[in-house]
Chain A
Amino acid sequence: MNSVILQIASKYIRAILLIFAVLALLRGHNQPGGGFIGGLLAGLSVVYTSLAFSATNIEQKLKIKPAHYIGIGLFIALISVLPGLWAVGTLFQGVWTTIPLPFGSVLKIGTPLLFDIGVFFTVIGVTLQFFFTLSNKE
């Protein structure tokens, strides 16, 4: 496809999709969203750009290859189940901690979020891997 409108629009849409992706990831624990949805959204942003330009072009421009995303994601997800072992003695047990922020608010952060981030990256990697493998014209 060679549409100028699509190409220009894709820049903004990509940015919006990525912001949404991160938002979905971070708020997922309490509101609709989460690592899976976030990952799909982030993957979609790349897919969209690829449709506007060309898939091979975008694939070459990716700084991190899809397979590496998968690896990073699985690694983070695996790491996230370990603190439970150290803190409570059980694998997979969520561990939470609070970090005080300025202006009196607190940030609650725990290993489930880390795990979600792992899912996020894995899903990005898998989506892109599917997409680029299938879009490859040979």
Chain B
Amino acid sequence: MEPYVLLLYLVVAFAMFLVPQKIKGVKPIIPALLHFGAFIYFITRIPAISKGTITKQSFAWIPELSLNIEFTLDGLSLIFALLITAIGALVFLYAKAYMKSYEGRSRFYFYLSVFSGAMLGLVLSTNLIQFFIFWELTSVLSFLLISFFNEKDSARRAAFQSLFITTFGGLSLLAGIILIDNIADSYNLSDWIAHAEQIKASKIYLPALLLILIGIFTKSAQFPFHFWLPGAMQAPTPVSAYLHSATMVKAGVFLLARLNPVLGGTDEWTHIIPVIGAITMLVGSYLSITQKDIKAILAYTTISALGLLVLLFGIDTNLSVKAAMVFLFVHAFYKASLFMIAGYIDKKTGTRDIDSLGGLARILPYGFGVAAIALLSMAGLPPLLGFIGKELIYEAKVQSPGLGFLVLIFGVVSNILMVTISLYFLFKVFMGKALTHIKRPKKIDLYYLAGPASLAFLSLALGLYPDFLSGLIEPAIEVIRVEIVQIKLKLWHGLNLVFLLSLLTVISGVLIFLLIYKKNKLLRGWRKLNDRIFYINFSDVFLSGIDRFVGYSGKNTKLIQHGYHRYYILTIILFTSLLLWLQIFITRDWQLDTKFTLQPFYISGLIGIMMLAAIYSAISRSRLNTIIAMGITGYGISLIYLYYSAVDLAITQIIVETLTIVIFVLVLQKLPKFATLSKKSTRLRDAAIALAFGGVMTILALKAIHVDFNLPISDFFIEKSYQEAFGKNVVNVILVDFRTLDTLGEITVLSVAAVGVYVLLKKKTKKL
């Protein structure tokens, strides 16, 4: 079924352009329904999956290279598919309201549909090459989505930045995949899992792991690649909501989970990944506090959340994976709804600056309610799903082996900051003095609020009855850990260390919040401090690096592509003759045929005349004379052909020579008067090069006589040309029968050359 769902996505995406003008307003409803339908389909698969049935489908593509199209729906992909389709449906509903006033909406819906289809394809693929194709597809489409407002310079820059970084990671990932293919001899994930021990023991395990991790870290915006994600908020808000919650950045986390059974469990895995994750987590939550743009605040908290997910998959215990899977839901729910709320606020108030917002609770009460639930879930307060997630995370960190203590401190600090920023967001935007210039809308903005409200409701409902999630998460953990794990999720865990940590987190978070909320000066000072410490902006460094690279390449390209035709020719001839001389010198086979006869005398005489003509053409001061002299050599060659009974060649040579002379003469009329422009040294240089090339060709010709071909190919043609092609003229038979494809190519090239001459001479181009 799954491939057909993907096909449907593609069809619907293209159909976006065909929707009649009259019903344009309901256009986003179509993909929303598609997503909803797909969501229902995946819901119906839950019972089968939790019983352990895994559906697989594969189509042969290039089986010789072990490239096949393989789709699998198991516990892990099911969870992601559910998130992608559910949030996708809500995002399209939201986009209906949000994108109302923008031009090019059809294009937007097209991109977004293909994007979600690519993401769905990514989570369902188990052939790694196919997976990589979908992976890159999401990069390219996110580029198109981020640059959707392409009239804005900042949007274009951000889009390019994210494209550069994610495709750089993509290439690295591809290299890693190929390295592992060298060990497992397959691109199929189940083959990889079967060879897991062999892969981990191999010498190229570490390079492969690092390459794949670069792919994952760039995609999931891990430190130090995190800076593209805040830039991505240049995208229309529905995209941000989707990109940050269920797609794109989650692709890296997904891959980390997917490859856990193949690469996980080693020392390298449990040391590199948690460190990067922990740093990212702390950096994200720390930087979120001093942001002013509410979308930027959300973007940095996403970075923090992604760091946390990576950290948990890196710790790689049953508990941590369980915590990661729960937190995946937690984050997707609150982040999608908060982004939608941020866009809603932006649309209603015209600003996203947190300093100029306030008192929105009275103006947008429904938005306030939804945002409050989502923010409290982000802060990890009971009775929301976020609380359960945080408890599990603490539990996993407390029990994590190795770096446990450090990770725990990082986690607690980061969570304190998350509590602070959640509360600050809530109070700054919705409490306090009301903005006077905005009126309370008369209707509930249904399309704006449907999405965030249902996600907030899910956060609350699943927080109260978390065991619904167990059935979903168990099969996923089974896929990741390759063992059966029974889990039980509940809100209240009793009074233990974890709860005490939670209490500590909340109290400290609230305290910091009160400090910066009451004393605005404090936050301002903090911002100033951050500006000073982090005055080097990662994305500026990156962009200037790119600029410098482009400048460097430009300079070097000019050195080689200087545009002087004579030097191109000079370089080619010089290089070729030097290489040939070198080869002759290396073989040192000086056996040359010098026993050529001077009989019959007229051929020797002819050659003498040709040589004289050639020399004359080089030293003559008149163009016409030069051409005539060159003609003499040409006709002479055709006579030699004739003597050795190559009649076809001779005829062709004569006609071509005639035409060449005529055309040369025609061209001459257009040239300026003859003048000696070259210096004597230049001419000496040219003479030397000509001698070098001519000499090597002569020696090659003399040596060629001694080269023995095992079987002259001419015998075959002479024998077969009448038998099989019914022709006695071997040359012609080769041209039109044995080598038809070559001839077809040649006449095509000729035609292209004719077009080229026409364009070069006839078309009036602007002066460069």
Contact = CB atoms under 8 A, between A and B. Distances in A.
For the complex, would chain B's binding face be called helix, strand, loop or mixed by DSSP majority?
helix
Given A41-B655, A66-B754, A137 B748 contact: no
B522 interface: no
Interface in A54-95: 55, 66-67, 70, 73-74, 77-78, 81, 92, 94
A135 B662 CA distance: 9
A87 B761 CA distance: 45
Contacts of B736: 29, 34-35, 112-113, 115-116, 119
Given A40-B652, A41-B655, A44-B659, A30 B740 contact: no
B651 interface: yes
A77 B747 contact: yes
Contacts of B753: 126
Interface in A79-138: 81, 92, 94, 96, 108, 110, 112-113, 115-116, 118-119, 122-123, 125-127, 129-131, 133-137
A115 B748 CA distance: 13
Nearest to A96: B726
B747 A94 contact: no
Given A122-B751, A126-B750, A47 B732 contact: no
Say whether chain A's binding surface is mostly helix, strand, loop, or mixed.
helix
B659 A29 contact: no
Given A37-B648, A133-B762, A29 B729 contact: yes
A40 B735 CA distance: 16
A28 B732 CA distance: 6
A78 B744 contact: yes
A47 B662 contact: yes
B559 interface: no
Report, as a range, how many residues of chain B touch the other chain: 35 or more
Given A33-B648, A125-B754, A131-B659, 14 more contacts: A29-B726, A34-B731, A36-B652, A40-B659, A44-B659, A47-B659, A94-B737, A110-B726, A112-B736, A113-B736, A116-B736, A130-B659, A134-B663, A136-B761
Interface of B: 647-648, 651-652, 655-656, 658-659, 662-663, 666-667, 669-670, 725-729, 731-733, 735-737, 740-741, 743-744, 747-748, 750-751, 753-755, 757-758, 761-762
Interface of A: 24, 28-37, 40-41, 43-44, 47, 51, 55, 66-67, 70, 73-74, 77-78, 81, 92, 94, 96, 108, 110, 112-113, 115-116, 118-119, 122-123, 125-127, 129-131, 133-137
26 contacts: A29-B727, A30-B727, A32-B648, A34-B648, A34-B729, A36-B652, A37-B648, A37-B651, A41-B655, A44-B659, A73-B751, A74-B747, A92-B741, A110-B726, A122-B750, A123-B747, A123-B750, A129-B754, A130-B754, A131-B659, A133-B758, A133-B761, A134-B666, A134-B757, A136-B762, A137-B670
